[in-house]
A = this chain, B = another copy of it.
Amino acid sequence: MPTSSSGTGQRPRSRAAAGLPAITADRIIDAATTLTGERGLDNWTLRELARAVEAYPAVIYHHVGDRDAVVNAVVDRVVGLLELPDPDLPWQQWFTELLAGLRAVLRAYPGCARRLALFGPSVEAATRSIDAGVRVLLRTGFGRESVLAYNLLLMTACQFVAMEDDRDGALALRIDNTEEYATYRERADLPGMAELGSAMHDLMGDPDLAAGYYAQVYDYAVQRCLDGLTHRLAELRESDDPGLTAT
């Protein structure tokens, strides 16, 4: 039994009316979104969600569906939080702002980034941002490659946020390779590994550096993608042959 609020139970009508608010799909998704914000998308069970809304697991099925349906609803809700930049911005700046906002939103709901990177959002939730983003690229001159370029930017962004999310999870579990990598920093026989080891060592020594590290990695990735697309745009304009065929 879901822990009842132990009311006096004078109500003769339906059980749920005994002081408990009505259970709706919306309320369930609210609770699931809250749980996701607190522990991440993969770190709550349907049974815990049911407990959170003071209901039985079967009630979740009745109102929303199986776990996957709940998760999809949560991801859609999170995607809905994303704000779109001013459409009149230059395209690089438009995407820089979009992706900065995306990181902020996704980081607040761990696990959503991974889900988005792998499956994408539902068509309905995605429409707003896809339309805006592809429109910016079309207007810029990416032609038939606009969709490809949009996907590259969004997926790269989601991927790097997913890495951050999982990194937090790994840190919580005390599985952190940083120290092990750092031991390689004097290995003259492996100069590549030594470079990595030295970077990891710097990171370990400076908490401020470590705090901003992932933001920097994210910005680096986004910036390199934008640079690569800028280069491609010049190629497209030169050849005057927009489209996928001329890769």
- Hey, which bits of chain A sit against chain B, CB under 8 A? 114, 117-120, 122-123, 127, 130-136, 138, 144-152, 155-156, 159-160, 162-163, 166, 170, 177, 180-181, 184, 190-193, 195-196, 199, 216-217, 219-221, 223-232, 244, 247
User: How far is B180's CA from A215's CA once the two chains are assembled, in angstroms?
Assistant: 35
User: How far is B148's CA from A219's CA once the two chains are assembled, in angstroms?
Assistant: 11
With contacts A162-B118, A224-B232 known, is A123 near B192, CB below 8 A? no
With contacts A118-B114, A155-B160 known, is A247 near B228, CB below 8 A? no
- A contact patch SS: helix
Contacts of A148 in B (CB 8 A): 217, 220
Closest residue of chain B to A121 (Cβ to Cβ) is B177
Contacts of A159 in B (CB 8 A): 117, 155-156, 159
Contacts of A225 in B (CB 8 A): 224-225, 228
Interface pair A223/B228, CB less than 8 Å apart: yes
User: How far is B48's CA from A76's CA once the two chains are assembled, in angstroms?
Assistant: 35
Contact of A196 among B134, B184, B217 (CB under 8 A): B134
Q: What would 20 A/B residue contacts be, using CB atoms closer than 8 Å? A: A118-B162, A119-B170, A122-B177, A123-B180, A131-B192, A133-B192, A134-B195, A134-B196, A144-B199, A146-B192, A146-B195, A147-B195, A148-B217, A155-B159, A155-B221, A223-B228, A225-B225, A225-B228, A227-B227, A230-B231
Interface pair A193/B224, CB less than 8 Å apart: no
Interface pair A152/B196, CB less than 8 Å apart: no
Interface pair B192/A134, CB less than 8 Å apart: yes
Measured CB to CB, the closest approach of chain B to A14, in angstroms, equals 36
Interface pair A138/B247, CB less than 8 Å apart: no
Closest residue of chain B to A120 (Cβ to Cβ) is B177
Interface pair B228/A224, CB less than 8 Å apart: yes
User: How far is B175's CA from A241's CA once the two chains are assembled, in angstroms?
Assistant: 35
Interface pair A132/B227, CB less than 8 Å apart: no
Contacts of A114 in B (CB 8 A): 118
Interface pair B123/A181, CB less than 8 Å apart: yes
